[in-house]
Copies of this chain bind each other. A is one copy, B any other.
Amino acid sequence: MSEETLILDGSVKSKEIQEEIKREVEKLEDEEGVVPKLSIVFAGNNPASKSYIKLQQRICDKVGIESEVVDLPGDISEEDLLAELDDLNNDDDVNGILIQMPLPDQVDDDKVIRSIDPDKDLDAFHPYNIGELVIDGDAYVPCTPEGVMALFDMYDIELKGKDVTVVGHSNIVGKPMALLLLNRNATVSVCHIDTKDTASYTTESDIVIVAAGVPNLITADMVKEGAIVIDVGINEVDGKIVGDVDFENVKEKASAITPVPGGAGPMTIAMLLKDTVQSCKDMLAN
């Protein structure tokens, strides 16, 4: 079985996308004299955030996108943070704004996400963008589920009519993932921590997408023979990065599976780059 399992290689697909973006960025610079720019807003000292930001910046650099970190003190007031955001909203050189969560306790996340200019809100935190997703409109969608959809498309995985279970119902992965799948006419079930029997859903599904943040949550007995398994989890266990899926055993049953690392993660960053370039083009056109 294992030899037949297709490894959905997010690293390779992400690099393909990055190559294309690099060409687009060069073209924008040559023809319009413009370099797309991403601003990452970060407040505090979270080491995981810091290393993720470094990774984002390194990849921006590789494809020629300018990136800046707006590095704010952990004790910044909400008012000051909103003022910084306002400057970014109004800066014509800034095409995309990422708010690195979590924000410090004294800052109201809800207020911040409603204050990003929706046109620069690449991760679709703003209700306007996420609402466009519900009605299948044209707007930014959260980069992680967007990356999973890109992976399906790049591997020609048909979604219409497929039975899909999404495990996890977060605002930034589970719910938008479910909506993207519904918009493509998959049959979608969403399980989460209060679900009585997650296995009763996953064992019947053609595709299982897991974004729960729980290592080894999905075991081989929970997936049907030939299923496609997408692991969006990123967990650190004994200094090693693992997903939410018992990869070694599940891959014996699955027809296709994403590894962690190297699956959904690199696709997320690819979408971020793609959206930054798109925003730059949109801003030039307007």
Contact = CB atoms under 8 A, between A and B. Distances in A.
Given A127-B132, A130-B135, A135-B127, A190 B182 contact: yes
A11 interface: no
A136 B171 CA distance: 9
A73 interface: no
Interface in A130-181: 130-137, 139, 160-161, 163, 169, 171, 175-176, 178-179
Interface stretch (A45-53, A195-203, A236-244): A195-203
A127 B129 CA distance: 7
Interface centre among A135, A195, A200 (most CB of B within 10 A): A135
A79 interface: no
Contacts of A179: 134, 175
A182 B187 contact: no
Given A128-B128, A194-B161, A196-B161, A134 B189 contact: no
A137 to B, nearest CB: 6
Contacts of A196: 161, 163, 187
Contacts of A195: 161, 163, 187
Given A128-B127, A137-B110, A171-B135, A187 B178 contact: no
B137 A134 contact: no
A204 interface: yes
A158 to B, nearest CB: 11
Contacts of A129: 127, 131
A122 interface: no
Nearest to A206: B196
Nearest to A160: B194
Contacts of A182: 169, 175, 178, 190, 192
A134 B194 contact: no
A132 B185 CA distance: 23
A179 to B, nearest CB: 7
A175 B178 CA distance: 10
A127 B110 contact: no
Contact of A134 (B176, B190, B192, B193): B176
Nearest to A185: B194
A13 interface: no
> Which of A134, A163, A175, A192 has its CB near the most chain B CB atoms (within 10 A)?
A134
B127 A131 contact: yes
A188 interface: yes
A123 to B, nearest CB: 12
8 contacts: A126-B131, A127-B137, A128-B131, A131-B131, A134-B179, A178-B190, A189-B190, A189-B201
